[in-house]
Structure 1
Amino acid sequence: MRSQLPSLSLSSYGASWPVNRRIAIVTCAIAVLLALASIVAAVTGSGNGHPAAGTAAPAPAGSSPSSAETSPKPSSGTGPLSRPPQIADPVAFARAAAQMLWSYDTRATSRDQQLAGMRAWMTREAKYADWASVAGQVPDPVLWSRMADQDQHATAHVTEGHYPSAFKQALADDPSAITEAYIYVVTVNGTQQVAWKKGGSGAEERAVTLAIQCRPNHDCTLAAIAPSVTQ
């Protein structure tokens, strides 16, 4: 029988983060994302259906968990968190980013290291980066210290990633809008396993909607954690 997660769980931290500033970037994202539909159609309609290396063509909308399982995994880094993977596919990158966001180890990682590792995944384009929405997932220093006292750590398993229906509809309505910022909205689902001292452990289902920037001929980056209005 699984133990109930302690109140210090990082998994739910930031769930009540203010949505207003994220609405702005998602609004931009939706507009930007729209144009991708026609690009995807052009890319997948000519050739073998697989995006060429270095392009920003996403996986087919509504891709199944089995197809997403073939996505590249984040490369191992020497720091506390994995380094962002070199992926040009929004859904694959979002899956990797969600796994990163849901994983932590207070036994070996300080709060500052956790934040530094997360920032490495962010877009360098300040106009589209909402660092506050991402940093808000990490507890304040006092709470992180209390979690560290309990040796709390978590791992994550991603089950699937997909474009929300609102995003796909926006793309269909205006396929040219995405060419300004190349930001894609992706919802990712999975499970987080948390453990702490004396064998305590627990698991819970997790879901997050991310704004991912994937410019042509560039690897994807994380722009923001989006409001859960695009499920």
Structure 2
Amino acid sequence: MRNPFPSRSLSSYGAGWSANRRIAIVACAVAVLLAIAGAVALLTGNSSGHLAPDTARPAPADSPSSSEAAPMPSSGSGSVPKPAQIAEPVAYAKAAARMLWSYDTRDTSRDQQLAGMRAWMTTEPKYTDWTSVSGQVPDPVLWSRMTDQDQHATAHVTEGHYPSAFKQALADDPSAITEAYIYVVTVNGKQQIAWKKGGGGAEERAVTLAVQCRPNHDCRLAAIAPSVTQ
């Protein structure tokens, strides 16, 4: 049965965002580590995943809606898991990807989804790119349509790794990581989607995340980064 409404990965929605905000984050935190090899990718790369043809693109990054603040609903964050207490970058990125690829409109409002996702972000303004993460959530009208169909998704992560450009840059200059402690991790997996009347399907997923893992602290999500080098 074909899904009557677009399947949502919450990791591919918003792939058409302007790269300006992402460039600022990566330039401050990881451009040295990537040895500027990802400069072109920052301008042209998109997050992995698939947008449905009838899904409207989000507003440009300089519009008021693009920097949507995460609500703090009194009812909590619904089915969104609490931030993982993990201090290792790849393991944390895998947990974050699983969170981004999972949702349940049956018991979680859009505001709750945003609030739950916001809790995973680093609290250091210089290094956080909330726009790249909040842009993964469908707009209120589409979320309402998904809710009408009880649409929900679970995720299975198969692997996570440092992209080769990141590993090479870190090998070339190990001290470069010590300012922001931002690590770039690519995660692959599968998303299982279901909706009313037994509808469902599965899709392969991949996302590149920037995670901040300062010594003696749990990691935090900094941004959904454009794919640089797998």
Instruction: Select between 13-22 and 177-186 the one with higher mean Cα deviation.
Output: 13-22
Is structure 2 residue 81 aligned with structure 1 residue 100? Answer: no
Per-residue deviation at 1:14?
2.0
| CA distance in 2 between partners of 1:107 and 1:140 (Å) | 17
Q: Which has the higher contact order (CA 8 A, sep 6+)?
A: 1
1:129-160 Cα deviation digits (max 9, x unpaired) = 00000000001111100110111000000000
CA distance in 2, matches of 1:230, 1:20: 20
Counterpart of 1:14?
14
Q: From the superposition, tell whether residues 154 and 133 of structure 1 become closer, same or farther in structure 2 (CA, over 3 Å).
A: same
Report the Cα distance in structure 2 between the residues aligned to 1:200 and 1:156, rounded to whole angstroms: 17
Q: CA deviation at 1:224?
A: 0.3
Q: Determine the C-alpha separation between the residues in 2 that align with 1:13 and 1:180.
A: 31
Matches within 5 A, 1:1-231: 3-11=1-9, 12-31=12-31, 33=33, 79-231=78-230
- Please report how far the alpha carbon of residue 196 of structure 1 lies from its aligned counterpart in structure 2 after TM superposition: 0.6
Alpha-carbon deviation of 1:8? 2.0
Structure 1 residue 6: Cα displacement: 4.8
Q: Segments of 4+ in structure 1 off by > 3 A?
A: 3-7, 31-34
The normalised TM-score by structure 2 is 0.76
Q: Which has the larger radius of gyration?
A: 1
Q: Distance in 2 between matches of 1:156 and 1:6?
A: 21
Deviation at 1:228, TM superposition (A): 1.5
> Matches of 2:170 and 2:4 in 1, distance apart?
41
Point out where structure 2 has 5 or more consecutive residues left out of the alignment: 35-75
**AA in 1 matched with 2:27:** T
Partner-residue secondary structure (3-state), 1:216: coil
Q: CA RMSD in A?
A: 1.8
State whether residues 78 and 113 of structure 2, in contact with CA within 8 Å, keep that contact through their aligned partners in structure 1. Answer: no
1:32 Cα deviation from its structure 2 partner: 6.4
Q: Residue type of the partner of 1:29?
A: A
Compared with structure 1, are the counterparts of its residues 126 and 142 closer, same or farther at alpha carbon in structure 2 (3 Å cutoff)? Answer: same
Q: Distance in 1 between matches of 2:169 and 2:94?
A: 22
Alignment deviations for residues 168-195 of structure 1 (CA, whole Å, 9 cap, x no partner):
1111222111110000000000000111
Letter in 1 for 2:21: R
Q: Deviations over 1:96-138 (max 9, x none)?
A: 0000000000010000000000001000001100000000000
Aligned to 2:120, what secondary structure does the other structure show?
coil
Tell me which amino acid in the other structure corresponds to 1:144.
W
1:185/1:5 CA distance change after superposition, 3 Å:
farther
1:34-67 CA distances to partner (integer Å, 9 max, x unpaired)?
7xxxxxxxxxxxxxxxxxxxxxxxxxxxxxxxxx
**Worse-matched range after superposition: 82-91 or 24-33:** 24-33
Report the CA distance between 1:9 and its aligned residue. 1.5
Identity %: 82
Match of 1:228, SS state, is coil
Compute the displacement of 1:4 (Å).
Answer: 4.5
The 3 A distance-change label for structure 1 pair 27 and 132 is same
